[in-house]
Amino acid sequence: MADDARRDAAYAAGQERILFCGSCHGKDGNSKRDYIPNLAGQHPLYLFEQFEKFGNGQREDYVMSNLAKVLTVEDRINIAVYYSQQEANPRTSPAPALVDAGRAKFQAKCAACHGQNAEGFRNMPRLAGQPAEYIKIALKRFKDMDPAVQSSPMIGIAAPLTAGDIEELAAFLTTL
């Protein structure tokens, strides 16, 4: 990322490779469906690591697991660079009344890792602007310890969250 010429070349190659991904994740990385995550503004290291996880079975999703197997290491790097450079847009909350409660919970329990504005850092994903539906799916999955093989710090963190906490956090994060 520090070398301008190499980053630009990776960006251009990534842009070509993402035509197909764009039908779900958006050409600019802002997802087209609420159950699909944004990739825009996500750290390249996080994106790259998720390809590894889909590829080696630590994380499973029918489409993504199959895709991860056909992408070369070069593709994965280029795509990660491309999407990391896109801007994630805030969304309208489906539950605006819950946003303030979610903000307080986020500051208390999540900001230390995900950043004050949920902007993410390295392998701690950006959460700002993610569709509320996706945040809920992701938190429930950690709560249910699925996939259990994943030794994620999120498993312990999601365990005590109630359904109400999850609604509030998701309502808040999508608006950032």
Question: How far apart (Å, rounded) are the C-alpha atoms in residues 81 and 47?
Answer: 9
Within residues 85-124, the interface with ligand HEC by CB under 6 A covers: 109-110, 112-114, 123-124
Site for ligand HEC contains 125 (CB under 6 A): yes
CA R_g for the chain? 16
The dihedrals phi and psi of 96, each to the nearest 5 degrees, come to: -55, -30
Binding mask 62-91 for ligand HEC (x = CB under 6 A): -xx--x-----------x------------
Q: Which amino acid is at 20?
A: F
Among 25, 43, 91, 143, binds ligand HEC (CB under 6 A): 25
The dihedrals phi and psi of 16, each to the nearest 5 degrees, come to: -70, -35
The interface region with ligand HEC, picked from 3-11, 88-96, 150-158 by CB under 6 A, is 150-158
> Taking a C-beta distance cutoff of 8 angstroms, is the pair 101, 168 a contact?
yes
- For the record, the structure tokens of 99 come out as 């946003």
Q: Which is nearer to ligand HEC, 93 or 152 (CB)?
A: 152
Binding site for ligand HEC (CB under 6 A): 18, 20-21, 23-25, 35-37, 39, 47, 50, 59, 61, 63-64, 67, 79, 109-110, 112-114, 123-125, 127, 135, 137-139, 150, 152-154, 157, 169
